[in-house]
Chains A and B, each alone.
Chain A
Amino acid sequence: MFLAGKTEEGDGETFSTQMPPETDIHPSPRTVKIAGRAAAFSTAGALAQSRHVTRDPMWLRVLLTTIALLFLLGFLFVPLAAVFAEALRGGVGMYLAAFSSPDARAAIRLTLLVTAICIPANTAFGIAAAWAVTKHDFRGKSLLLALLDLPFAVSPVVAGLVFVLVFGRHGWLGPANLEILFAPVAPAFGAFVDSCGLRGTFLGPLAEWLAEPSLLPVLFSPPGIVLATIFVSCPFVARELIPLMQAQGADEELAALSLGASGWRTFWHVTLPNIKWALFYGVVLCGARAMGEFGAVSVISGKIRGETNTLPLHVEILFNEYNSVGAFAVASLLALLALVSLALKTFAEWRFKKEAM
Chain B
Amino acid sequence: MSVTAEIISKTFGSYAALDKVSLHAPAGKLVALLGPSGSGKTTLLRIIAGLEKPDPGSGRILFDGEDVTDVAPGKRGVGFVFQHYALFRHMSVAENIAFGLKARPWRERPSKADIKARVEDLLRLVQLETFGARLPAQLSGGQRQRVALARALAVQPRVLLLDEPFGALDAKVRRDLRRWLRHFHAEAHLTTIFVTHDQEEALEIADEVVVMNQARVEQVGPPREIYDHPATPFVHRFLGNVNQVALPWAGIRPGVSVPTEGGIAFVRPHDIEILLPEGATPGIDDPNATGAPARITDIHAAGPVAKIAAKRDDGLGVLDIELPRPRLAILRLNEGDRIRLRVRPRANP
Contacts and interface: CB of A to CB of B under 8 A. Distances in A.
A and B: bona fide binding partners: yes
Contacts of A32: 300
Interface stretch (A19-27, A120-128, A141-149): A19-27
Nearest to B239: A20
A251 B237 contact: no
Interface string B299-323: 1100000011100100011111010
Given A26-B241, A29-B309, A251-B86, A257 B198 contact: no
Contacts of A19: 241
A261 B104 CA distance: 7
Contacts of A273: 88, 90
B227 interface: no
A286 B242 CA distance: 62
A30 B88 CA distance: 43
Contacts of B307: 26, 28-29
B300 A258 contact: no
Most buried by B among A17, A24, A25, A29: A17
B260 to A, nearest CB: 14
A21 B36 contact: yes
A355 B135 CA distance: 11
Given A251-B82, A258-B78, A260-B155, A13 B318 contact: yes
Contacts of A221: none
Contacts of A259: 74, 99-100, 103, 151-152, 154-155
Interface residues of A, number: 38
B342 interface: no
Interface in A252-297: 252, 254-262, 265, 269-270, 273-274
B158 interface: no
A42 interface: no
B154 to A, nearest CB: 8
A178 B185 CA distance: 71
Contacts of B316: 15
Contacts of B90: 273-274, 355
B150 to A, nearest CB: 12
Interface of B is mostly: mixed
A33 B89 CA distance: 40
Given A17-B320, A22-B37, A255-B80, A260 B74 contact: yes
Interface in A193-222: none
B241 to A, nearest CB: 5
B37 A21 contact: yes
A54 interface: no
B84 interface: yes
A255 B237 contact: no
B241 A258 contact: no
A72 B254 CA distance: 87
B238 interface: yes
Interface stretch (B18-26, B115-123, B217-225, B243-251): B243-251
Contacts of B87: 252, 255
B37 A28 contact: no
Interface string A233-262: 000000000000000000110111111111
A16 interface: yes
Interface in A1-48: 9, 13-26, 28-30, 32-33
Closest 5 pairs (CB-CB, A-B)? A15-B317, A29-B300, A259-B100, A260-B74, A251-B86
6 contacts: A18-B242, A20-B241, A21-B36, A257-B73, A259-B99, A265-B103
Interface of B: 36-37, 49-51, 72-75, 78-80, 82, 84, 86-90, 99-100, 103-104, 137, 151-152, 154-155, 197-200, 237-246, 269, 298-300, 307-309, 312, 316-320, 322
